[in-house]
C-alpha cells in the first residue's frame, strides 16, 4: 500500500492532468482520500464510470457538484467508445492553461500527459482500452523521464502513463464498506451476505419506493401481511423487520426455499444483491450528491 502510494507520488510529477475513475453509483465510497491528497494542485478529470448502472438524475447532480469544485467531469460507460470524444475534449480544456503558458515562454508544444487512477475494479483497464482503441502503440522511454516509464499515445496531443495508479479504497465507516461490497469493488465474502442484503433493501425501500415490489412482483397485501407477521413475531430491537419481510417474500417468489418450506435467506440475499450489482434491478445510485 505504501509502495503504491509512493509510485503514485512519483508518477504524478510526470503528468499535467490526473484522471480519476469513480463508480457513478457511489462516488464518495470509491474516492480514495490519498489520491486526492497526492494529486493536489493538479488539474483533475473525474470520470463517473459505470454510469450505465447508476441513476441518471443522481449522476447529473454529482456532475454539478464536482464541477463546482473546479474539476472536469464526464459520466461514462468505459466499455463503449461513445464518450471518449467528451473525455478528450475535457482533457483539452484542462490542458489549455498550460499550453498557453508554454506558448508564451516559447516552449515547443508537447503532448499533454495524463495519469489514470482509481481503486481496483472501477474500470481503469477497460477505460484505457476504449480510449486507446486505435493508437495504443507504446511510445517508449522519453528523455528526462524516469527510466522505464511507458506512455500510451492516445493522439498527437495526448499521452497516457501506461500503468494506472491503484490504491485500495478506504473503509472510513460501515456505510462505505457496505457500498463497496454492493457494487463489487471489494470481495463481498468479507461481509455477511444477509446483512449486506438487509442494508441494500433498507436503502431501496427508503430511496426507490415501489422498485422492489415491481421487480419481485410483490403485492401490497402480501407486504402488509408479512410485515404484520414480523411485527408480532420479532420483538428484538434493532432488527430491520421491513427489510426482512421483503427478503422472505422475495425468497419465496424466487424459489429460494429450504427443506420444510422455509425461506432460504442466504440464497435470497445472493440473488437480490446480484440483481443490484449487475443492473438487473435497474439504474440505482447508492450515494446522492446532497
Ligand atoms: N457496466 C459497466 N461495467 C464496466 C464498466 N467499466 C468497466 N466495467 C466492468 O468492470 C469490471 C472491472 O473493470 P476493469 O477495467 O478490469 O477495472 P480495473 O481494476 O480498474 O482495471 C470488468 O468486468 C468490466 O467489464 C462500465 O462503464 N459499465
Ligand atoms: Mg486493471
Which grid cell is 135? 493508437
Residue 144's pLDDT band, with cuts at 50, 70 and 90, is very low
Q: Which structural domain, as residue segments, surrounds residue 264?
A: 192-277
Question: Which CATH number does the domain housing residue 223 bear?
Answer: 1.10.1580
Distances (CA, A) of 252 to 220, 222, 249, 255: 16, 12, 5, 5
Give, for ligand 1, the residue of 83, 126, 187, 284 to mutate: max count of ligand atoms closer than 8 Å to Cβ: 126
End-to-end alpha carbon distance in the chain: 31
Does residue 130 sit in the same domain as residue 210? Answer: no
Please, what is the average pLDDT of the chain? 90
Question: Who surrounds ion ligand 2 at CB < 5 A?
Answer: 124-125
The pTM assigned to this predicted structure is 0.92
Q: Which residues line ligand 1 (CB under 6 A)?
A: 49-50, 52-53, 76-79, 118, 120-126
Residue 188's pLDDT band, with cuts at 50, 70 and 90, is low
Half-sphere exposure in the Cβ direction for 278 (13 Å, CA): 7
Give the three-state DSSP class for 242. Answer: helix
CA of 51, closest atom in ligand 1: 27
Does residue 60 sit in the same domain as residue 199? Answer: no
**pLDDT at residue number 134:** 54
Give, for ligand 1, the residue of 4, 56, 123 to mutate: max count of ligand atoms closer than 8 Å to Cβ: 123
Does residue 215 sit in the same domain as residue 153? Answer: no
| Residue owning the nearest CA to atom 2 of ligand 1 | 50
Residue 147's pLDDT band, with cuts at 50, 70 and 90, is low
Does residue 104 sit in the same domain as residue 247? Answer: no
Question: Is 177 within a domain?
Answer: no
Question: Is 45 within a domain?
Answer: yes
Does residue 159 sit in the same domain as residue 197? Answer: no
**Looking at the predicted structure, is the pLDDT value of residue 43 above 50?**
yes
CB 56 within 8 A of CB 283: yes
Amino acid at each position: 500500500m505504501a509502495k503504491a502510494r509512493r509510485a503514485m507520488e512519483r508518477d504524478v510529477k510526470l503528468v499535467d492532468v490526473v484522471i480519476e475513475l469513480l463508480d457513478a453509483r457511489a462516488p464518495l465510497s470509491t474516492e480514495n482520500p490519498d489520491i486526492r491528497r497526492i494529486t493536489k494542485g493538479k488539474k483533475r478529470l473525474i470520470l463517473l464510470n459505470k454510469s450505465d448502472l447508476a441513476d441518471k438524475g443522481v449522476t447529473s447532480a454529482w456532475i454539478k457538484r464536482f464541477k463546482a469544485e473546479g474539476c472536469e467531469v464526464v459520466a461514462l460507460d468505459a466499455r463503449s467508445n461513445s464518450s471518449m470524444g467528451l473525455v478528450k475534449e475535457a482533457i483539452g480544456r484542462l490542458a489549455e492553461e498550460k499550453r498557453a503558458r508554454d506558448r508564451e515562454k516559447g516552449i515547443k508544444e508537447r503532448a499533454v500527459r495524463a495519469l489514470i487512477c482509481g481503486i481496483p475494479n472501477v474500470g481503469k483497464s477497460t477505460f484505457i482500452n476504449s480510449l486507446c482503441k486505435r493508437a495504443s502503440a507504446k511510445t517508449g522511454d522519453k528523455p528526462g523521464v524516469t527510466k522505464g516509464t511507458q506512455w500510451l499515445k492516445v493522439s498527437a496531443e495526448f499521452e497516457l502513463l501506461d500503468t494506472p495508479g491503484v490504491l485500495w479504497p478506504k473503509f472510513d465507516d460501515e456505510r462505505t464498506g457496505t457500498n463497496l461490497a454492493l457494487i463489487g469493488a471489494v470481495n463481498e465474502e468479507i461481509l455477511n451476505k444477509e446483512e449486506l442484503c438487509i442494508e441494500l433493501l433498507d436503502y431501496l425501500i427508503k430511496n426507490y419506493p415501489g422498485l422492489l415490489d415491481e421487480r419481485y412482483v410483490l403485492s401490497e397485501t402480501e407486504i402488509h401481511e408479512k410485515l404484520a407477521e414480523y411485527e408480532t413475531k420479532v420483538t428484538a430491537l434493532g432488527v430491520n423487520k421491513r427489510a426482512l419481510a421483503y427478503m422472505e417474500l422475495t425468497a419465496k417468489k424466487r424459489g429460494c426455499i429450504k427443506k420444510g418450506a422455509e425461506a432460504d435467506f442466504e440464497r435470497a440475499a445472493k440473488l437480490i444483491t446480484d440483481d443490484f450489482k449487475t443492473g438487473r434491478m435497474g439504474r440505482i445510485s447508492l450515494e446522492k450528491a446532497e
